[in-house]
Structure 1
Amino acid sequence: MRATLRWAHSDLRTHRGEALFIVLATAGVVASLLLATALFGYATNPWQRVFAQAHGAHVWIHTGPSADTRRLTVLDSVEAVAGPYPTESTTVVSRGTRASVELRGTPRPPSVGRPLLTSGRWLDPAHPNGVVLESRLARALLAEPGDTLTLPGTARTLTVLGIADSAEPRYSPGEQPGLVWALPSAVRNPGGQVTGLRLTDPGDTDYAVQRAVTLLGAGAVDEVSTWRQARSEAQGDNRLLGQVLGLFGLGSLIAAAFAVHGAIGTRIRGHLRDISVLKAIGFTPGQVVRIFLLQHVAYALLGAVAAAAVTQGLGRRIPGRLGDAVGVWQGLPDHTVALFAVPVGAVLFIAATTGLAAWRAGRVPPVPVPRPTAPVGGRLSGVARRALGLRLPPALVLGWHQAFTRRPRSLATVARLALPLLLIVVAMSAWTTIDRFHRSPEQVGLPAALTVRPDGGLGDTATRSLLAGSPQVAAAYPGVEVAALVPGQTATIALRGLGTRQDPYPYALADGRAPLGPDEAVAGQGLLDLLHVGVGDWVRMTVGDQPQILHIVGRSIEPENAGRVISTSLDTLRENDPRLRPTLYQLRLRPGADPHEVAGELAAAAHGRLDVHPVTNPADGLSPLRGVVAGLIAVLALIGLIELLTAIGGTVREGERDLLALKAIGLSPRQITAITVMSTACTALASVAVGVALGIPLAHWLIDAQGRSSGIGAGLAQGPSPVLLLLFGAAAVLGAAALAALPAARSARRRLADTLSAVA
């Protein structure tokens, strides 16, 4: 044991930097995996907790006021029914902020879909104008209990009594109205009613919706929302962040394990004589294996424990969503198990790959085998000899020859170094794709910067005139958006009519073409997946009791409503209903215009008769991803540095046998140093080429796969610019050459006696 510890101590003193990098890289990998676990828990648990405590409804059905929803209680799969509650669609204003809301007349706290109060109190008959706001809506309005909400265009006011969490789809400007619970007397102009169904089997949701719509009649159903939609919306960007962290964490773990494997293999080749001596004095093969195995497992264990301790102690202090996620995760029942299992799993994986490399040390014979007298690099190839004949610099030719002559070993080194570089390219592509949402939103399905919804008292002509009078508005596209029942009546989708045939809406198309003719439309990936159709198919949907048949001629990139959107021109919808009038306007602004400033100017010019808000950009919720990507690149750079130091050490040690021959042919120490530096640079260059060549298509595939799964669709991926890739490759190659310069110079200046002992 004492000899084992002495060996480990001596090896640690010789390779301090490499040991430190292994510890730091392991810590980064384990921290990434722990944060991914926290984000997955954070994405799922809050909504699941609210749904369970609220005894949530699995289906919410919005119908006309005359629909007899009491018949839904006879359905076999329905366990309980909430409502029906009268509803009124209106707009409220608080502290200068407007929001579209649904007033829901609720005489008493419901037993199904019960709001969970977070502040204030429930409705009180003593305050007939008192309301309770859904928590996200309250945050958007900056409203607190005691505040007063006004309804534009009327003299009505509402008093906020409380704020509550709900498991229903939450408020989203321009997409989902906010939920406001009120007494039935406060719902003065009910335009419909809503009924909640709690099912005995959540897996039968689609079938239950189909039966409910059939029972009520398709013409009576305005909209249907399910618990799956609410859960997906609540998880949102948190799940994406968790997937990114988990993917890169696992990739980094594999890269780190391979880097440790390569480090041990190189070290074994450099210590063959020392290992033989250990065996000669009585060390068994198992003891030799344990020396390398325990030493590197200790490094990994130290890094894993450090990562777990830092994540547990300081994780909740991370600013933004990551800190919130860690705080919620630490309160979950399975937190302790995950905090233990993730580091242990990472250490065991590294130990497995370490054991494979250390096993080779146990096979070293106790009697040193004489090294071959031929140069390690082998004879010069014909290409190398011709290059020397052309009077190319010997350092360039011999460095290239040294890097790629030992093909199995050289290919393994290039592959190990290329893996972290490949993952860095993927991370850079993710960063560039997020920037694309901000720099060129029109390319990712967001050509309009503002959505304008006029109040009932403002006509189409007056609204167009008002919008045309703004110098910052480049174009205004009239449109309508209604909920439509899909074939089979199992879900509702968004049917949009935007622009006219004379002034078509500028859709961002990934496949097909724009809808220019009658009955032509484009659809999002989420709708295509829902209906199992593709570009070129015809689809039939129902709007109220009116059927609408459209020909899908293109697939548009749709960041909203999980891609469950079908869009056509306003003229097409008017052919089916000539009385249809625009209910919204999508505004494209001039370059450099600030959407928030333009929104304020339009609202002021309309004297409060326009509901103007910026179009939600999905990238706004992914701001934490930038910090995540930067941290992952740092971890991957550490792993690449470990592999680079290993490659440099192996090149220097194995080049010692060529030292005498190189000096004998008249090469100076500087030229010999340049050979090692050039060999390292060539290896790095080959790794960069492999990493970029494989990383770009892999990044496109991963990003497009995520886009398809989220309903947005493929076509989002944006690779790094050629200039950035060139800078990345140059930094990697020049950094590798700079790291190799010092050890190569030391080796080239060794005394001849030392060199003779090395080759003996």
Structure 2
Amino acid sequence: MRATLRWAHSDLRTHRGEALFLVLATAGIVASLLLATALFGYATNPWQRVFTQSRGAHVWIHTGPSAQVRQLAGLDGVESVSGPYPTASATLASRGVRAPVELRGTDERAAVDRPLVTAGHWLRSATPDGVVVESRLARALLAEPGDTLTLPGTARRLTVLGIADSAEPRYRPGERPGLVWALPSAVGDPAGQAIGLRLTNPDDTDYAVQRAVTVLGAGAVSEVSTWQQARAEAQGDNRLLGQVLGLFGLGALIAAGLAVHGAIGTRIRGHLRDISILKAVGFTPGQVVRVFLLQHIAYALLGAVAAAALTQALGSRIPGRLGDALGVWQGLPGHTAALIVIPVGAVLFIAATTGLAAWRAGRVPPVPVQRPATTPTGRLTDVARLFLGPRSSAPADVRLRGLTRRILGRRPWAPSTERRPDTAHPTPAPRPPVLPAGQLGGLARRALGLGLPPALVLGCHRAFSRRGRSLGTVARLALPLLLIVVAMSAWTTIDRFHSSPERIGLPTALTVHADTGLTDRETRSLLEGDPQVAAAYPGVEVAALVPGQTATIALRGLGTRQAPYPYTLAEGRLAHGRDEAVAGQGLLDALDVRVGDWVRMTVGDQPQILHIVGRSIEPENAGRVISTSLDTLRENDPGLGATLYQLRLRAGADPHEVAGRLTAAGDGHLDVHAVTNPADGLSPLRGVVVGLIAVLALIGLIELLTAIGGTVREGERDLLALKAIGLSPRQITAITVTATGCTALAAVLVGTALGTPVARWLIDAQGRSSGIGSGLAQSPSPAILVLFGAAAVLGAAALAALPAARAARRRLADTLSAVA
């Protein structure tokens, strides 16, 4: 045991930098996986906690005021109901901020889907104008308990009594109204009612919705929302961040395992004599394997423990969403188990790859086997033939052997013109070439014949002479480079979300809702009168029941045939004719249709049949949107008028400044919101991408240092021969640098060629799963990829220069001992 520890300590002193990089890389990988787990828990748990504690309803159905919704309590599969509650639409304002809301009349919290009050208190009959506001809506209105909310256009005032969390779909500016609970007397004249159904089997949600709509009649149902939709909306961008971190964490773990495997394999090849000596003095094969295994397990364990301790210590102190996620995750029941399982799993994976490589060390024989063509004389003869060709003349061979004997000190050198058999140093049997030893191929011979520098030719030859080993090195180095290209593509895609929102389905910057105080002509005149408004597209958005009546989707009519709405298409064409529409990926998946199909939906009592001629990129409503022109919807309902306006601004216009001017010009009749950009929620991903690139760069650096060490050790056996044929130390250094640069260049080409399509596939797959649809991916520009590749190759060459120069200036005695 003492000898084992002394060997491990000596090896650590020799490879301090590699050990440090392994520890740091393992720490980064484990930290990425822990953050991914925290984000997944943060994405799911807050909503799940609210749903469980409030005994949330699995289905919410909104109907007209005359629908007989109480009979839904008797349906099979319905465990209990919440409501029905009278509802009315309104607009609330606070501190200059306005938001559309749904006033829901209730006097007490029911047993099913009872809101969880987080601040203030619940409704009281002593305060008839008191309300409880949903938490996200309260943040948008900057409202706290005790504040007063106004209803623009009226003299009514509402007092905020409390703020509550609900498991229902939350407020989204310009997309979904907020939820406000009030006493029935405060609702006034209700325009509808809502009822929540809690099911005995949540998996039967679609069937329960279908039966409920059948009982009530499609014309009575205005909107249906399910617990799956609410959960997906609540998870939002946190789930995406978790997926990105988890994917890159697993990829980095595999890359690190391969890098460790390659490092141990290269070290074993460079220490065959030392391993043989260890076995000769009594080390068993198992002890030799344990030396390498325990040493690298210790590195991995140190990095994993450091990452777990740092993650646990920082917790919520990390700024931004990651800190919030860690703070929530640390309070979850499975936090301790994940904090142990993830580091242990990473260490075990690295131990498995380490054991596979260390097993080769156990097979090294205790007595070194003489390698063919390893004698200095034979190697010098082989190197000479590299330049003289396979059919070199007898005088050249005789001169070279004499030069070799003089260098080795065997006997004084004397030129001779006779060719005599050399019994002391017989010519070795033919074998595969090892770096410069052996004959060059035809291409390399022609390159030398053209006068190319010998260092360049020999460097390329050394890099790819052993195909199996060279391909393994290129593959291990290409994997982290591939993941870096994927990370760069994710960064570029996020930048395009910000710089070119029209290319990801957001051609407009503002959404305007006008009340009944303004006519359509007056509203459009007011909006188009602003100098920074390029176009105003009138429209309407209603909830429609899908075929089968299992859910509702968003049916939008935007623009007219004379001024069509500029949809961003990923497939098909724009809707020009009658009954033509474009749909989002989420709707195509929900209805199991594709471009070219006809779909039938129900809006109130009226059916609407549309022909899907294109797939648009839809970042709203999880892509469950079908869009046509306002003229098409008016053909089915002539009395339909515009209820919203989408504004496209001129280049350089500030949406917030324009929104402020329009709100002031509307004199309280306009509700203006900035269109939500999905990239706003992806801002933390930038820091994540930078951290992942740093971890992957560490792993690539480990593999690069391993490749450089292997190349230098392989070159030591050829050093004497290269000096004998007249190469200077600078030329010998250039051989190693060229070999390293060629390996790095091959890895860069493979990583870039594979990373670009893989990045597109991953980003588009995420877009399809979120309902936005494919077509979002944006690859880095060719200039950036070229700079990235050049930096990798030049950096590899620079790292190889110092060890190669030291090896090229070694003393002859050291060189002879290395090749003996």
Asked whether the two chains share a fold, i.e. TM above 0.5, the reply is yes
Instruction: Give the TM interval when normalised to the shorter protein.
Output: over 0.9
Partners of 2:650 and 2:455 lie apart in 1 by 57
Shift of residue 370, structure 1, vs aligned partner: 1.7
Of the candidates 523, 528, 539, which is equivalent to residue 463 of structure 1? 523
Partners of 1:395 and 1:595 lie apart in 2 by 61
Shift of residue 727, structure 1, vs aligned partner: 0.9
The residue number in structure 2 matching 1:492 is: 552
Partners of 2:372 and 2:586 lie apart in 1 by 65
Name structure 1 gaps, 5 residues minimum. none
Return 663-672 or 535-544, whichever deviates more: 663-672
SS at match of 1:319: coil
Partners of 2:249 and 2:672 lie apart in 1 by 42
The residue number in structure 2 matching 1:598 is: 658
Partners of 1:322 and 1:437 lie apart in 2 by 21
The number of residues matched between the two structures is: 760
Shift of residue 651, structure 1, vs aligned partner: 0.2
1:412 aligns with 2:472: yes
Shift of residue 395, structure 1, vs aligned partner: 1.8
Amino acid at match of 1:239: R
The residue number in structure 2 matching 1:452 is: 512
Amino acid at match of 2:496: R
Partners of 1:153 and 1:494 lie apart in 2 by 28
Shift of residue 372, structure 1, vs aligned partner: 2.9
Amino acid at match of 1:376: V
Partners of 1:244 and 1:184 lie apart in 2 by 46
Amino acid at match of 1:563: G
Amino acid at match of 2:455: A
Amino acid at match of 1:323: G
The residue number in structure 1 matching 2:781 is: 721
The residue number in structure 1 matching 2:174 is: 174
**Segments ≥4 residues shifted beyond 3 Å:** none
The residue number in structure 2 matching 1:428 is: 488
Amino acid at match of 1:473: V
Amino acid at match of 2:300: A
Shift of residue 666, structure 1, vs aligned partner: 1.2
Partners of 1:66 and 1:189 lie apart in 2 by 13
SS at match of 1:713: coil
The residue number in structure 2 matching 1:647 is: 707
1:376 aligns with 2:434: yes
SS at match of 1:98: strand
Partners of 1:396 and 1:457 lie apart in 2 by 81
Q: How does 1:275-290 map to 2 (within 5 A)?
A: 275-290=275-290
Amino acid at match of 1:511: E
Partners of 1:386 and 1:454 lie apart in 2 by 79
Question: Is the Cα contact below 8 Å between 1:62 and 1:222 reproduced in 2?
Answer: yes
Partners of 2:556 and 2:699 lie apart in 1 by 50
Shift of residue 315, structure 1, vs aligned partner: 2.7
Partners of 2:764 and 2:585 lie apart in 1 by 11
The residue number in structure 1 matching 2:142 is: 142
Partners of 1:245 and 1:498 lie apart in 2 by 38
1:443 aligns with 2:503: yes
Of the candidates 394, 416, 423, which is equivalent to residue 454 of structure 2? 394
Shift of residue 95, structure 1, vs aligned partner: 0.5
Instruction: Decide which structure has the larger Cα Rg and report it.
Output: 2
Q: How does 1:215-614 map to 2 (within 5 A)?
A: 215-373=215-373, 374=379, 376-377=434-435, 378-614=438-674
For residues 278-335 of structure 1, give each alpha carbon's deviation from its aligned partner in whole angstroms, at most 9, with x where no partner exists: 0000000000000000000100000000001001111321111111111111111111
For residues 451-491 of structure 1, give each alpha carbon's deviation from its aligned partner in whole angstroms, at most 9, with x where no partner exists: 01101111101101001110110111110000000000000
- With the length of structure 2 as denominator, give the TM-score of the two structures: 0.92
1:61 aligns with 2:61: yes
Shift of residue 661, structure 1, vs aligned partner: 1.6
The residue number in structure 2 matching 1:51 is: 51
Partners of 1:554 and 1:189 lie apart in 2 by 42
Partners of 1:421 and 1:214 lie apart in 2 by 56
Question: Is the Cα contact below 8 Å between 1:525 and 1:712 reproduced in 2?
Answer: yes
Return 125-134 or 368-377, whichever deviates more: 368-377
SS at match of 1:338: helix
Shift of residue 754, structure 1, vs aligned partner: 0.6
Q: How does 1:182-201 map to 2 (within 5 A)?
A: 182-201=182-201
The residue number in structure 1 matching 2:799 is: 739
Question: Is the Cα contact below 8 Å between 1:116 and 1:164 reproduced in 2?
Answer: yes
Amino acid at match of 1:382: G
SS at match of 1:586: strand
Amino acid at match of 1:219: G
- With the length of structure 1 as denominator, give the TM-score of the two structures: 0.99
SS at match of 2:683: helix
- RMSD (Å) for aligned C-alpha atoms: 0.7
Amino acid at match of 2:471: L
The residue number in structure 2 matching 1:623 is: 683
Amino acid at match of 1:755: T
Shift of residue 371, structure 1, vs aligned partner: 2.8
Partners of 1:753 and 1:372 lie apart in 2 by 21
1:683 aligns with 2:743: yes
SS at match of 1:716: coil
Partners of 1:599 and 1:664 lie apart in 2 by 80
Name structure 2 gaps, 5 residues minimum. 374-378, 380-432
Partners of 1:74 and 1:160 lie apart in 2 by 36
Q: Percent identity?
A: 84
The residue number in structure 2 matching 1:663 is: 723
Amino acid at match of 1:120: G
Shift of residue 658, structure 1, vs aligned partner: 1.2
The residue number in structure 1 matching 2:31 is: 31
Partners of 1:191 and 1:724 lie apart in 2 by 57
Partners of 1:738 and 1:320 lie apart in 2 by 38
Partners of 1:370 and 1:441 lie apart in 2 by 68
